[in-house]
A and B are shown apart, each in its own frame.
Chain A
Amino acid sequence: MDITLFHIVGAGAISAAAGGLLGSFALLRRMALVGDALSHVALPGIALGLLFHFNPFVGSLAFLVFGTTLIWAVEHKTNLPVDTLVGVLFVLALAVGALLTPEHELLEALFGDISQLSATGFWVSLLLGGVIIVALLMLWRKLTLTMISSELSKSTGIRPHVVEFFFLTLFAFVVALGITFTGVLLIGALVIIPAAIARNIATSMGAYMFLSSLIGVLGAIGGILASYFFHIAPGPAFVILLGTLFFLSIIGKLR
Protein backbone atom coordinates (compact mmCIF):
# COMPACT_ATOMS: atom_id res chain seq x y z
CA MET A 1 0.00 0.00 0.00
CA ASP A 2 1.33 3.45 -0.91
CA ILE A 3 1.04 5.98 1.83
CA THR A 4 -0.57 9.17 0.55
CA LEU A 5 -1.32 12.49 2.20
CA PHE A 6 -4.82 11.14 2.79
CA HIS A 7 -3.46 8.28 4.94
CA ILE A 8 -1.20 10.62 6.88
CA VAL A 9 -4.06 13.00 7.61
CA GLY A 10 -6.26 10.04 8.64
CA ALA A 11 -3.68 8.63 11.06
CA GLY A 12 -2.93 12.09 12.49
CA ALA A 13 -6.63 12.87 12.90
CA ILE A 14 -7.46 9.68 14.76
CA SER A 15 -4.42 10.09 17.05
CA ALA A 16 -5.53 13.62 17.81
CA ALA A 17 -9.17 12.58 18.35
CA ALA A 18 -8.07 9.94 20.87
CA GLY A 19 -5.60 12.37 22.49
CA GLY A 20 -8.20 15.14 22.74
CA LEU A 21 -10.82 12.88 24.26
CA LEU A 22 -8.36 11.48 26.78
CA GLY A 23 -7.14 14.98 27.55
CA SER A 24 -10.62 16.09 28.58
CA PHE A 25 -10.37 13.64 31.49
CA ALA A 26 -6.70 14.32 32.23
CA LEU A 27 -7.52 17.99 32.75
CA LEU A 28 -10.38 17.12 35.13
CA ARG A 29 -7.90 15.33 37.30
CA ARG A 30 -5.30 18.07 36.92
CA MET A 31 -2.83 15.48 35.76
CA ALA A 32 -1.83 17.32 32.60
CA LEU A 33 1.76 17.68 33.72
CA VAL A 34 2.13 14.15 35.06
CA GLY A 35 0.99 12.99 31.63
CA ASP A 36 3.52 15.22 29.95
CA ALA A 37 6.38 13.89 32.07
CA LEU A 38 5.14 10.35 31.52
CA SER A 39 5.58 10.69 27.77
CA HIS A 40 9.34 11.06 28.27
CA VAL A 41 9.58 7.47 29.41
CA ALA A 42 8.85 6.40 25.82
CA LEU A 43 12.25 7.57 24.58
CA PRO A 44 14.40 4.74 26.02
CA GLY A 45 11.91 2.30 24.49
CA ILE A 46 12.24 3.93 21.08
CA ALA A 47 16.02 3.94 21.43
CA LEU A 48 16.15 0.23 22.25
CA GLY A 49 13.94 -0.50 19.25
CA LEU A 50 16.28 1.45 16.96
CA LEU A 51 19.43 -0.10 18.44
CA PHE A 52 18.20 -3.69 18.41
CA HIS A 53 16.13 -3.47 15.21
CA PHE A 54 12.65 -4.09 16.49
CA ASN A 55 9.70 -1.78 15.95
CA PRO A 56 10.29 1.34 18.11
CA PHE A 57 6.51 1.54 18.63
CA VAL A 58 6.63 -1.74 20.54
CA GLY A 59 9.53 -0.46 22.64
CA SER A 60 7.81 2.81 23.49
CA LEU A 61 4.52 1.08 24.34
CA ALA A 62 6.28 -1.37 26.67
CA PHE A 63 8.11 1.44 28.49
CA LEU A 64 4.95 3.54 28.72
CA VAL A 65 2.86 0.74 30.18
CA PHE A 66 5.66 0.18 32.69
CA GLY A 67 5.72 3.93 33.46
CA THR A 68 1.96 4.19 34.00
CA THR A 69 1.92 1.08 36.18
CA LEU A 70 4.70 2.65 38.23
CA ILE A 71 2.74 5.91 38.71
CA TRP A 72 -0.32 3.95 39.73
CA ALA A 73 1.59 1.76 42.17
CA VAL A 74 3.41 4.70 43.76
CA GLU A 75 0.13 6.58 44.15
CA HIS A 76 -1.86 3.75 45.66
CA LYS A 77 0.62 1.43 47.32
CA THR A 78 3.12 3.84 48.88
CA ASN A 79 3.18 7.17 50.68
CA LEU A 80 5.87 8.57 48.40
CA PRO A 81 5.25 11.96 46.77
CA VAL A 82 3.99 11.11 43.26
CA ASP A 83 4.79 14.42 41.54
CA THR A 84 8.38 14.54 42.70
CA LEU A 85 9.07 10.92 41.89
CA VAL A 86 7.44 11.15 38.47
CA GLY A 87 9.34 14.35 37.73
CA VAL A 88 12.74 12.88 38.61
CA LEU A 89 12.30 9.39 37.16
CA PHE A 90 10.86 10.44 33.86
CA VAL A 91 13.34 13.20 33.14
CA LEU A 92 15.97 10.59 33.94
CA ALA A 93 14.35 8.34 31.33
CA LEU A 94 14.49 11.19 28.82
CA ALA A 95 18.22 11.66 29.48
CA VAL A 96 19.00 7.94 29.17
CA GLY A 97 16.86 7.73 26.03
CA ALA A 98 18.58 10.75 24.49
CA LEU A 99 22.02 9.14 25.05
CA LEU A 100 20.90 5.77 23.66
CA THR A 101 19.07 7.04 20.57
CA PRO A 102 21.28 7.15 17.44
CA GLU A 103 21.96 10.81 16.74
CA HIS A 104 20.38 10.97 13.28
CA GLU A 105 17.17 9.48 14.66
CA LEU A 106 17.03 11.67 17.77
CA LEU A 107 15.31 14.66 16.19
CA GLU A 108 12.52 12.49 14.81
CA ALA A 109 12.04 10.73 18.16
CA LEU A 110 11.89 14.05 20.00
CA PHE A 111 9.62 15.97 17.61
CA GLY A 112 7.96 13.24 15.56
CA ASP A 113 7.46 13.04 11.80
CA ILE A 114 4.20 11.57 10.66
CA SER A 115 5.18 12.10 7.00
CA GLN A 116 7.41 9.01 7.45
CA LEU A 117 4.32 6.91 8.25
CA SER A 118 4.46 3.24 7.14
CA ALA A 119 1.51 1.14 5.99
CA THR A 120 1.70 -0.84 9.23
CA GLY A 121 1.83 2.40 11.18
CA PHE A 122 -1.32 3.60 9.42
CA TRP A 123 -3.32 0.47 10.27
CA VAL A 124 -2.00 0.39 13.85
CA SER A 125 -3.03 4.05 14.30
CA LEU A 126 -6.51 3.36 13.00
CA LEU A 127 -6.99 0.29 15.17
CA LEU A 128 -5.43 1.60 18.38
CA GLY A 129 -7.07 5.02 18.00
CA GLY A 130 -10.44 3.34 17.54
CA VAL A 131 -9.94 1.12 20.59
CA ILE A 132 -8.96 4.10 22.78
CA ILE A 133 -11.95 6.17 21.67
CA VAL A 134 -14.45 3.34 22.19
CA ALA A 135 -12.97 2.50 25.61
CA LEU A 136 -13.14 6.14 26.75
CA LEU A 137 -16.74 6.50 25.56
CA MET A 138 -17.71 3.35 27.44
CA LEU A 139 -15.97 4.50 30.62
CA TRP A 140 -16.72 8.21 30.56
CA ARG A 141 -19.21 8.36 33.44
CA LYS A 142 -17.03 6.30 35.77
CA LEU A 143 -13.95 8.26 34.74
CA THR A 144 -15.60 11.63 35.29
CA LEU A 145 -16.96 10.67 38.70
CA THR A 146 -13.62 9.21 39.80
CA MET A 147 -11.72 12.25 38.55
CA ILE A 148 -13.92 14.70 40.46
CA SER A 149 -14.02 12.66 43.68
CA SER A 150 -12.71 9.19 44.33
CA GLU A 151 -14.70 9.02 47.58
CA LEU A 152 -17.97 9.80 45.84
CA SER A 153 -17.06 7.28 43.18
CA LYS A 154 -16.34 4.64 45.79
CA SER A 155 -19.66 5.30 47.55
CA THR A 156 -21.53 4.33 44.38
CA GLY A 157 -19.78 0.97 44.13
CA ILE A 158 -17.15 1.98 41.56
CA ARG A 159 -13.61 0.88 42.31
CA PRO A 160 -11.62 4.10 41.75
CA HIS A 161 -8.22 2.37 41.74
CA VAL A 162 -9.30 0.12 38.89
CA VAL A 163 -10.77 3.03 36.93
CA GLU A 164 -7.55 4.99 37.39
CA PHE A 165 -5.49 2.04 36.24
CA PHE A 166 -7.56 1.75 33.05
CA PHE A 167 -7.20 5.47 32.50
CA LEU A 168 -3.43 5.42 32.88
CA THR A 169 -3.18 2.44 30.53
CA LEU A 170 -5.22 4.34 27.95
CA PHE A 171 -2.92 7.30 28.57
CA ALA A 172 0.07 5.07 27.71
CA PHE A 173 -1.69 3.95 24.51
CA VAL A 174 -2.41 7.54 23.47
CA VAL A 175 1.19 8.58 24.01
CA ALA A 176 2.51 5.57 22.05
CA LEU A 177 0.03 6.34 19.29
CA GLY A 178 0.74 10.05 19.11
CA ILE A 179 4.52 9.85 19.28
CA THR A 180 4.99 9.36 15.52
CA PHE A 181 3.00 12.55 15.07
CA THR A 182 4.32 14.98 17.68
CA GLY A 183 7.34 13.16 19.09
CA VAL A 184 8.26 12.61 22.71
CA LEU A 185 8.68 16.26 23.67
CA LEU A 186 5.47 17.65 22.22
CA ILE A 187 3.09 14.77 22.96
CA GLY A 188 1.73 16.61 25.99
CA ALA A 189 0.27 19.15 23.57
CA LEU A 190 -1.79 16.48 21.82
CA VAL A 191 -3.47 15.66 25.12
CA ILE A 192 -3.58 19.01 26.89
CA ILE A 193 -4.21 21.80 24.37
CA PRO A 194 -7.42 20.57 22.68
CA ALA A 195 -9.01 19.90 26.08
CA ALA A 196 -7.82 23.25 27.42
CA ILE A 197 -9.44 25.06 24.47
CA ALA A 198 -12.66 23.01 24.74
CA ARG A 199 -12.87 23.80 28.41
CA ASN A 200 -12.90 27.52 27.68
CA ILE A 201 -15.89 27.05 25.38
CA ALA A 202 -18.01 24.13 26.64
CA THR A 203 -20.69 24.32 29.32
CA SER A 204 -21.50 20.61 29.51
CA MET A 205 -19.40 17.47 29.77
CA GLY A 206 -20.81 16.12 26.51
CA ALA A 207 -19.87 19.27 24.61
CA TYR A 208 -16.47 19.37 26.32
CA MET A 209 -15.56 15.84 25.26
CA PHE A 210 -16.85 16.32 21.72
CA LEU A 211 -15.15 19.69 21.21
CA SER A 212 -11.91 18.44 22.67
CA SER A 213 -11.74 15.62 20.10
CA LEU A 214 -12.92 17.84 17.27
CA ILE A 215 -10.36 20.56 18.01
CA GLY A 216 -7.65 17.87 18.12
CA VAL A 217 -8.74 16.55 14.72
CA LEU A 218 -8.90 20.02 13.14
CA GLY A 219 -5.49 20.87 14.59
CA ALA A 220 -4.02 17.64 13.21
CA ILE A 221 -5.43 18.24 9.73
CA GLY A 222 -4.24 21.86 9.82
CA GLY A 223 -0.79 20.91 11.12
CA ILE A 224 -0.26 18.16 8.54
CA LEU A 225 -1.45 20.29 5.64
CA ALA A 226 0.76 23.17 6.81
CA SER A 227 3.73 20.82 6.95
CA TYR A 228 2.93 19.52 3.45
CA PHE A 229 2.62 22.92 1.82
CA PHE A 230 5.22 24.88 3.80
CA HIS A 231 7.73 22.04 4.36
CA ILE A 232 7.83 22.33 8.12
CA ALA A 233 7.66 19.53 10.72
CA PRO A 234 3.98 18.55 11.33
CA GLY A 235 4.28 18.08 15.13
CA PRO A 236 5.48 21.61 15.90
CA ALA A 237 3.02 23.00 13.30
CA PHE A 238 0.15 21.28 15.17
CA VAL A 239 1.32 22.63 18.52
CA ILE A 240 1.76 26.19 17.29
CA LEU A 241 -1.62 26.18 15.56
CA LEU A 242 -3.48 24.89 18.63
CA GLY A 243 -1.42 26.98 21.06
CA THR A 244 -2.54 30.08 19.16
CA LEU A 245 -6.15 28.89 19.26
CA PHE A 246 -5.86 28.38 23.01
CA PHE A 247 -4.86 31.97 23.60
CA LEU A 248 -7.63 33.16 21.30
CA SER A 249 -10.11 31.10 23.36
CA ILE A 250 -8.86 32.76 26.55
CA ILE A 251 -9.29 36.20 25.00
CA GLY A 252 -12.78 35.17 23.85
CA LYS A 253 -13.62 34.05 27.35
CA LEU A 254 -12.39 37.23 28.99
CA ARG A 255 -14.45 39.48 26.72
Chain B
Amino acid sequence: MTGKLVLENGTIFEGTLLGGMPIVGEVVFNTGMTGYQEILTDPSYADQIITLTYPLVGNYGVTREVDQSSKPYCKAMIVGELCTFPSNWQNEGTFEEYMRTHGIPCLYNVDTRAITRAIRSHGVMKGVICPTDTPQEKIDALLAQPLATDHIMRVTTKWEGHRGSDSAEFHVAVFDFGVKENILQSLENEGCRLTIFPANTKAETVMACNPDGIFLSNGPGDPKDVPEIVEEIKKLVGKKPIFGICMGHQLIARAFGGETYKLRFGHRGSNHPVKDLDTNRVHITSQNHGYAVDEASLEGSGLRVSHRSVNDGTVEGLVHNDLPIMSVQYHPEASPGPTDNVYLFERFKTLMRRG
Protein backbone atom coordinates (compact mmCIF):
# COMPACT_ATOMS: atom_id res chain seq x y z
CA MET B 1 0.00 0.00 0.00
CA THR B 2 1.20 3.50 -0.70
CA GLY B 3 1.41 5.80 2.26
CA LYS B 4 2.80 9.12 3.33
CA LEU B 5 4.23 11.14 6.12
CA VAL B 6 2.65 14.53 6.63
CA LEU B 7 4.64 16.86 8.82
CA GLU B 8 3.17 19.56 10.98
CA ASN B 9 4.57 22.20 8.62
CA GLY B 10 2.72 20.64 5.71
CA THR B 11 5.61 18.83 4.04
CA ILE B 12 4.63 15.48 2.57
CA PHE B 13 6.84 12.46 1.91
CA GLU B 14 5.39 9.59 -0.04
CA GLY B 15 6.38 5.96 0.25
CA THR B 16 5.11 2.48 0.85
CA LEU B 17 3.16 1.76 4.00
CA LEU B 18 3.20 -1.29 6.16
CA GLY B 19 0.16 -1.30 8.48
CA GLY B 20 -2.89 0.73 7.66
CA MET B 21 -4.16 2.95 10.49
CA PRO B 22 -3.25 6.64 10.46
CA ILE B 23 -1.14 7.55 13.48
CA VAL B 24 0.32 10.75 14.85
CA GLY B 25 3.54 11.21 16.79
CA GLU B 26 6.61 13.32 17.20
CA VAL B 27 8.99 12.65 14.30
CA VAL B 28 12.62 12.15 15.32
CA PHE B 29 15.66 10.69 13.61
CA ASN B 30 18.39 8.31 14.71
CA THR B 31 21.75 8.26 12.90
CA GLY B 32 22.96 4.84 14.08
CA MET B 33 23.96 2.50 11.25
CA THR B 34 23.14 -0.69 13.18
CA GLY B 35 20.75 -1.57 15.98
CA TYR B 36 17.30 -0.95 14.46
CA GLN B 37 15.70 -3.57 16.67
CA GLU B 38 17.23 -2.14 19.85
CA ILE B 39 16.02 1.31 18.81
CA LEU B 40 12.52 0.05 18.05
CA THR B 41 12.21 -1.60 21.45
CA ASP B 42 13.71 1.21 23.52
CA PRO B 43 10.78 2.50 25.64
CA SER B 44 12.24 6.01 25.60
CA TYR B 45 10.83 6.30 22.05
CA ALA B 46 7.26 5.94 23.34
CA ASP B 47 4.80 7.74 21.06
CA GLN B 48 7.49 8.86 18.66
CA ILE B 49 7.88 8.20 14.95
CA ILE B 50 11.47 7.13 14.40
CA THR B 51 13.27 7.93 11.17
CA LEU B 52 16.39 5.85 10.61
CA THR B 53 18.95 7.76 8.58
CA TYR B 54 20.81 4.67 7.40
CA PRO B 55 18.78 3.67 4.35
CA LEU B 56 19.14 -0.13 4.38
CA VAL B 57 17.19 -1.62 7.26
CA GLY B 58 16.49 -5.21 8.15
CA ASN B 59 19.65 -6.64 6.60
CA TYR B 60 20.47 -8.91 9.52
CA GLY B 61 16.89 -9.67 10.57
CA VAL B 62 15.75 -9.73 14.18
CA THR B 63 16.64 -11.74 17.25
CA ARG B 64 14.76 -11.77 20.56
CA GLU B 65 18.07 -11.58 22.38
CA VAL B 66 18.47 -7.85 21.74
CA ASP B 67 14.96 -6.65 22.59
CA GLN B 68 15.19 -3.77 25.04
CA SER B 69 11.68 -4.27 26.36
CA SER B 70 8.79 -6.66 25.99
CA LYS B 71 7.34 -4.67 23.11
CA PRO B 72 7.93 -1.51 21.10
CA TYR B 73 6.29 1.65 22.43
CA CYS B 74 7.08 3.90 19.49
CA LYS B 75 4.33 4.93 17.07
CA ALA B 76 5.98 4.07 13.78
CA MET B 77 9.22 3.63 11.88
CA ILE B 78 10.35 5.42 8.74
CA VAL B 79 13.05 3.68 6.73
CA GLY B 80 14.61 3.97 3.30
CA GLU B 81 14.51 0.37 2.29
CA LEU B 82 13.19 -2.70 4.07
CA CYS B 83 15.24 -5.84 3.53
CA THR B 84 13.18 -8.95 3.00
CA PHE B 85 16.06 -11.43 2.82
CA PRO B 86 18.02 -10.93 6.02
CA SER B 87 21.21 -12.83 6.51
CA ASN B 88 22.86 -13.40 9.86
CA TRP B 89 23.26 -16.55 11.91
CA GLN B 90 21.39 -14.90 14.79
CA ASN B 91 18.46 -13.99 12.56
CA GLU B 92 15.05 -15.33 13.63
CA GLY B 93 12.83 -13.52 11.11
CA THR B 94 12.47 -10.39 9.07
CA PHE B 95 12.16 -6.95 10.58
CA GLU B 96 9.01 -6.52 8.53
CA GLU B 97 7.32 -9.50 10.21
CA TYR B 98 8.51 -8.24 13.55
CA MET B 99 6.89 -4.84 13.07
CA ARG B 100 3.73 -6.47 11.75
CA THR B 101 3.56 -8.74 14.76
CA HIS B 102 3.85 -5.78 17.09
CA GLY B 103 1.49 -3.64 15.06
CA ILE B 104 4.08 -0.95 14.37
CA PRO B 105 3.41 0.81 11.07
CA CYS B 106 6.39 1.43 8.86
CA LEU B 107 6.71 3.89 6.03
CA TYR B 108 9.46 2.81 3.64
CA ASN B 109 10.76 3.64 0.16
CA VAL B 110 11.08 7.22 1.27
CA ASP B 111 13.89 9.74 1.12
CA THR B 112 14.82 9.55 4.80
CA ARG B 113 17.63 12.05 4.30
CA ALA B 114 15.10 14.62 3.14
CA ILE B 115 12.99 13.98 6.25
CA THR B 116 16.06 14.29 8.46
CA ARG B 117 16.98 17.58 6.84
CA ALA B 118 13.42 18.82 7.33
CA ILE B 119 13.62 18.03 11.03
CA ARG B 120 17.09 19.49 11.33
CA SER B 121 16.08 22.81 9.86
CA HIS B 122 12.66 23.05 11.48
CA GLY B 123 13.21 21.22 14.76
CA VAL B 124 11.18 18.18 15.82
CA MET B 125 7.64 18.23 14.61
CA LYS B 126 4.54 16.21 14.88
CA GLY B 127 3.76 14.09 11.91
CA VAL B 128 1.08 11.77 10.64
CA ILE B 129 1.72 8.51 8.88
CA CYS B 130 -1.25 7.31 6.90
CA PRO B 131 -2.38 5.72 3.66
CA THR B 132 -2.03 8.06 0.69
CA ASP B 133 -5.76 8.51 0.26
CA THR B 134 -6.45 9.58 3.85
CA PRO B 135 -8.67 12.67 3.85
CA GLN B 136 -6.89 15.86 4.83
CA GLU B 137 -9.43 16.60 7.60
CA LYS B 138 -8.50 13.39 9.29
CA ILE B 139 -4.81 14.28 9.08
CA ASP B 140 -5.47 17.76 10.39
CA ALA B 141 -7.47 16.35 13.26
CA LEU B 142 -4.64 14.02 14.19
CA LEU B 143 -2.08 16.82 14.00
CA ALA B 144 -4.29 18.96 16.22
CA GLN B 145 -4.15 16.40 19.04
CA PRO B 146 -1.83 17.48 21.83
CA LEU B 147 1.09 15.17 22.56
CA ALA B 148 0.56 12.86 25.50
CA THR B 149 2.24 13.56 28.83
CA ASP B 150 1.76 10.22 30.54
CA HIS B 151 4.39 8.19 28.72
CA ILE B 152 6.30 7.07 31.78
CA MET B 153 3.27 5.61 33.48
CA ARG B 154 2.43 3.75 30.33
CA VAL B 155 5.83 2.13 29.90
CA THR B 156 6.87 1.48 33.51
CA THR B 157 6.49 -1.93 35.10
CA LYS B 158 3.21 -2.51 36.89
CA TRP B 159 4.69 -4.62 39.62
CA GLU B 160 7.82 -4.74 41.68
CA GLY B 161 10.35 -7.14 40.19
CA HIS B 162 13.57 -8.84 41.16
CA ARG B 163 16.66 -9.82 39.22
CA GLY B 164 20.14 -11.04 39.87
CA SER B 165 21.79 -13.41 42.26
CA ASP B 166 21.20 -13.25 46.00
CA SER B 167 24.93 -13.43 46.53
CA ALA B 168 25.55 -10.28 44.47
CA GLU B 169 27.78 -7.68 46.03
CA PHE B 170 25.28 -4.84 45.78
CA HIS B 171 21.57 -4.45 46.00
CA VAL B 172 20.26 -1.74 43.71
CA ALA B 173 16.78 -0.30 43.71
CA VAL B 174 15.78 0.57 40.18
CA PHE B 175 13.16 3.14 39.32
CA ASP B 176 11.71 1.95 36.04
CA PHE B 177 10.72 4.94 33.92
CA GLY B 178 10.94 2.76 30.83
CA VAL B 179 14.20 1.01 31.54
CA LYS B 180 16.10 -0.67 28.75
CA GLU B 181 16.82 -4.33 29.19
CA ASN B 182 20.54 -3.85 28.77
CA ILE B 183 20.75 -1.40 31.66
CA LEU B 184 19.37 -4.07 33.93
CA GLN B 185 21.67 -6.60 32.32
CA SER B 186 24.70 -4.33 32.74
CA LEU B 187 23.96 -3.75 36.43
CA GLU B 188 23.54 -7.45 36.88
CA ASN B 189 26.80 -8.16 35.07
CA GLU B 190 28.51 -5.71 37.35
CA GLY B 191 27.47 -7.75 40.36
CA CYS B 192 24.22 -6.10 41.37
CA ARG B 193 21.00 -7.65 42.61
CA LEU B 194 18.08 -5.56 41.45
CA THR B 195 14.72 -4.67 42.87
CA ILE B 196 12.77 -2.95 40.14
CA PHE B 197 10.02 -0.53 41.13
CA PRO B 198 7.22 1.08 39.16
CA ALA B 199 7.87 4.74 38.37
CA ASN B 200 5.33 6.04 40.89
CA THR B 201 6.76 4.14 43.87
CA LYS B 202 7.11 6.18 47.04
CA ALA B 203 10.55 6.88 48.42
CA GLU B 204 9.71 5.09 51.67
CA THR B 205 8.83 1.90 49.82
CA VAL B 206 12.14 1.99 48.04
CA MET B 207 14.09 2.65 51.21
CA ALA B 208 12.26 -0.19 52.87
CA CYS B 209 14.09 -2.73 50.71
CA ASN B 210 17.34 -1.33 52.07
CA PRO B 211 19.28 -0.99 48.84
CA ASP B 212 22.99 -0.13 48.56
CA GLY B 213 22.19 2.29 45.80
CA ILE B 214 19.36 3.71 43.78
CA PHE B 215 19.22 3.71 40.03
CA LEU B 216 17.01 6.10 38.06
CA SER B 217 16.39 4.77 34.58
CA ASN B 218 15.88 6.20 31.15
CA GLY B 219 12.39 6.88 29.96
CA PRO B 220 10.24 8.73 27.46
CA GLY B 221 8.86 12.22 27.39
CA ASP B 222 9.41 15.54 29.07
CA PRO B 223 10.86 15.45 32.61
CA LYS B 224 8.59 18.37 33.48
CA ASP B 225 5.60 16.09 33.13
CA VAL B 226 6.43 14.10 36.27
CA PRO B 227 6.84 16.54 39.19
CA GLU B 228 5.52 13.90 41.58
CA ILE B 229 8.45 11.60 40.78
CA VAL B 230 10.87 14.47 41.31
CA GLU B 231 9.38 14.93 44.76
CA GLU B 232 10.12 11.30 45.65
CA ILE B 233 13.67 11.61 44.36
CA LYS B 234 14.21 14.65 46.55
CA LYS B 235 13.39 12.48 49.52
CA LEU B 236 16.02 9.94 48.52
CA VAL B 237 18.81 12.46 48.07
CA GLY B 238 21.51 11.98 50.65
CA LYS B 239 20.12 8.68 51.80
CA LYS B 240 21.78 6.38 49.29
CA PRO B 241 24.16 6.65 46.33
CA ILE B 242 22.16 7.50 43.22
CA PHE B 243 22.94 6.89 39.56
CA GLY B 244 20.73 8.24 36.80
CA ILE B 245 20.71 7.63 33.08
CA CYS B 246 18.92 9.82 30.55
CA MET B 247 15.47 10.60 32.06
CA GLY B 248 17.01 9.63 35.40
CA HIS B 249 19.70 12.22 34.85
CA GLN B 250 17.18 14.94 34.04
CA LEU B 251 15.06 14.11 37.07
CA ILE B 252 18.09 14.35 39.34
CA ALA B 253 18.79 17.81 37.94
CA ARG B 254 15.20 18.82 38.58
CA ALA B 255 15.29 17.35 42.07
CA PHE B 256 18.11 19.78 42.81
CA GLY B 257 16.17 22.70 41.41
CA GLY B 258 17.71 22.56 37.96
CA GLU B 259 15.80 23.21 34.77
CA THR B 260 15.40 21.10 31.68
CA TYR B 261 14.54 22.21 28.17
CA LYS B 262 13.62 20.73 24.86
CA LEU B 263 16.40 20.41 22.29
CA ARG B 264 15.71 21.54 18.76
CA PHE B 265 15.97 18.05 17.32
CA GLY B 266 17.52 15.97 20.06
CA HIS B 267 20.52 13.66 20.11
CA ARG B 268 19.78 10.23 18.75
CA GLY B 269 22.47 7.94 17.45
CA SER B 270 25.53 5.87 18.26
CA ASN B 271 28.27 8.34 17.40
CA HIS B 272 28.03 11.20 19.86
CA PRO B 273 31.32 12.34 21.37
CA VAL B 274 31.20 13.23 25.04
CA LYS B 275 34.04 14.59 27.10
CA ASP B 276 34.54 13.31 30.60
CA LEU B 277 35.66 16.54 32.26
CA ASP B 278 37.44 14.70 35.07
CA THR B 279 39.72 12.70 32.80
CA ASN B 280 39.59 15.00 29.76
CA ARG B 281 38.97 11.94 27.66
CA VAL B 282 36.39 11.83 24.90
CA HIS B 283 34.14 8.82 24.65
CA ILE B 284 31.83 7.90 21.82
CA THR B 285 28.38 7.39 23.23
CA SER B 286 24.98 6.07 22.36
CA GLN B 287 22.32 8.72 22.82
CA ASN B 288 18.59 9.13 22.72
CA HIS B 289 17.26 12.27 24.26
CA GLY B 290 15.07 15.15 23.21
CA TYR B 291 15.55 17.19 26.39
CA ALA B 292 18.62 18.45 28.18
CA VAL B 293 19.62 19.96 31.49
CA ASP B 294 20.06 23.72 31.52
CA GLU B 295 23.57 24.28 32.84
CA ALA B 296 22.94 27.81 34.12
CA SER B 297 20.08 26.59 36.27
CA LEU B 298 22.42 24.34 38.23
CA GLU B 299 24.20 27.15 39.95
CA GLY B 300 24.20 26.70 43.66
CA SER B 301 22.51 23.31 43.37
CA GLY B 302 25.58 21.36 44.45
CA LEU B 303 25.63 19.58 41.11
CA ARG B 304 28.43 20.17 38.68
CA VAL B 305 28.81 19.19 35.04
CA SER B 306 30.97 16.06 34.71
CA HIS B 307 30.39 15.30 31.03
CA ARG B 308 29.80 17.56 28.11
CA SER B 309 28.82 17.00 24.49
CA VAL B 310 31.75 17.72 22.16
CA ASN B 311 29.33 18.56 19.34
CA ASP B 312 27.14 21.22 20.96
CA GLY B 313 28.53 21.68 24.45
CA THR B 314 25.31 20.58 26.18
CA VAL B 315 25.31 18.89 29.57
CA GLU B 316 25.87 15.15 29.27
CA GLY B 317 26.65 14.23 32.84
CA LEU B 318 26.44 15.50 36.41
CA VAL B 319 28.00 14.69 39.76
CA HIS B 320 27.22 16.14 43.11
CA ASN B 321 29.98 18.00 44.88
CA ASP B 322 29.37 16.32 48.23
CA LEU B 323 26.82 13.58 47.87
CA PRO B 324 27.29 10.21 46.12
CA ILE B 325 25.14 11.19 43.16
CA MET B 326 26.05 10.86 39.50
CA SER B 327 24.17 10.84 36.26
CA VAL B 328 24.66 10.80 32.52
CA GLN B 329 22.42 11.91 29.73
CA TYR B 330 23.61 9.17 27.37
CA HIS B 331 23.53 5.39 27.39
CA PRO B 332 26.58 3.63 28.81
CA GLU B 333 24.77 0.32 28.44
CA ALA B 334 24.88 0.79 24.64
CA SER B 335 22.52 -1.61 22.84
CA PRO B 336 22.75 -0.18 20.35
CA GLY B 337 26.02 1.67 20.22
CA PRO B 338 29.58 1.62 21.42
CA THR B 339 30.52 -0.03 24.66
CA ASP B 340 33.15 2.53 25.65
CA ASN B 341 31.25 3.75 28.66
CA VAL B 342 30.63 0.76 30.88
CA TYR B 343 33.14 2.38 33.21
CA LEU B 344 30.26 4.43 34.58
CA PHE B 345 28.72 1.35 36.14
CA GLU B 346 32.08 0.82 37.83
CA ARG B 347 31.93 4.35 39.17
CA PHE B 348 28.47 3.72 40.54
CA LYS B 349 29.80 0.67 42.34
CA THR B 350 32.58 2.77 43.81
CA LEU B 351 29.96 5.14 45.16
CA MET B 352 28.02 2.26 46.64
CA ARG B 353 31.15 0.74 48.11
CA ARG B 354 31.82 3.98 49.96
CA GLY B 355 28.15 3.93 50.96
A and B are partners in one complex rather than unrelated chains:
no
* Chain B interface residues (CB < 8 Å from chain A): none
